[in-house]
Amino acid sequence: MPLEAVEARRLYRQVADQLRALIDGGEYPVGSRLPTERELAEQLRVSRPTVREALIALEVEGRVRIRVGSGIYVIEPTASGVPASANIEGPFELLRAREFIEGAIAGEAARLATSEDIARIDAALTAMATVEHPSEASMIHDRAFHVAVAGSLGNAVLVRVVGELFDQRLNPYFAKLATYFENPESWRAAHAEHEAIRHAIVARDSERARTAMRDHLARSQGRFAQSFGAEAAVSRVLAKSG
């Protein structure tokens, strides 16, 4: 019997596999509600972002439906879902990688950017300010900004890496997560963060540029880390009444 390559499974995928097995075993029948995100994180001893990625994966597979403010419900499997075997990076894993890589790139851009590079960065920022979000156009201009910053280093490999990492936003897990948490308000916040990166680069402040880029991508993680469970709805009501 030939040996097969051993592949380390991502943690969120292990959580999704456990939940899928419980669903298939009848522990959570069709129509039932899963425990809250917080409860699952406590029971499985993993972070809530990991649970969130697992739930998104199950929704993309067509096994659960997330109802914001109500909970996560088991549904009849759908034929249009992404196969459970799909080996896709989780959104938080991608954002953490971008935070590390693009932070370093922004720091170097502050040292190396030419007037032409700044012009490309400014063009992307101007375009970002005029489009609706979420939309295909907003993603195009957002990508153009990050690629323009990387382009300041004059290294085609880094430009390609930044572009390919950004394009992972198009994977079904990331896209589904974005439908819950991206809106005009989050876009305005992101645009301001992009402007902070631009200003630091223009000021030739490498440390501030590095920090601004890492802060932007960390805040992106924070925007996606909001809970979509019932406890989130209660928190929002309490916040408004306080």
Half-sphere exposure of 226 (CA within 13 A, CB side): 19
Is the per-residue pLDDT at 174 higher than 80?
A: yes
Residue with tokens 């990688």: 97
- Give the CA count within 13 Å in the CB-facing half-sphere of 212: 28
Q: What is the pLDDT of residue 180?
A: 82
The answer, yes or no, to whether residue 157 has pLDDT greater than 70, is yes
Banded pLDDT at 20 (limits 50, 70, 90): very high
Cβ neighbours of residue 45 under 8 Å, at least 6 residues apart? none
What is the pLDDT of the chain when averaged over all its residues? 87
Q: Could you read off the pLDDT of 33-44 as tens digits, one per residue?
A: 999 988 999 999
**pLDDT band for position 15 (cuts 50, 70, 90):** very high
From the list 12, 87, 89, the residue with the least C-alpha distance to 52 is 12
**Residue 143: band (very low, low, confident or very high) from pLDDT cuts 50, 70, 90:** very high
DSSP annotation of 227 reads -
Q: Are 48 and 42 in contact (CB under 8 A)?
A: no
Contacts of 93 (CB under 8 A, 6+ apart): 10
DSSP for 171-184?
SHHHHHHHHHH--H
Which position has the higher pLDDT, 155 or 235?
155
CB-based contact 215:223 (threshold 8 Å): no
Q: What pLDDT, on a 0 to 100 scale, did the predictor assign at position 232?
A: 43
Structure tokens at 221: 């993680």
Domains of the chain in sequence order: 11-74 (1.10.10.10), 91-224 (1.20.120.530)
Answer yes or no: is pLDDT of 86 > 70. Answer: no
Residues 6+ apart with CB under 8 A from 175: 169
Tell me the per-residue pLDDT of 41-68, one tens digit each, with 9 for 90 and over: 999 999 888 898 899 999 999 999 998 8
Pair 102, 149: CB distance under 8 Å = yes
* Structure confidence at residue 235 (pLDDT): 39
Exposure of 138 in the CB half-sphere (CA atoms within 13 A): 17
Q: How confident is the model at residue 10 (pLDDT cuts 50, 70, 90)?
A: confident
**C-alpha 19 chain-centroid distance:** 22
The per-residue pLDDT for 101 is: 98
Q: How far, in Å, are 6, 10, 72, 85, 86 from residue 3 at the CA level?
A: 9, 21, 39, 20, 21
Q: What is the reported pLDDT for 83?
A: 67
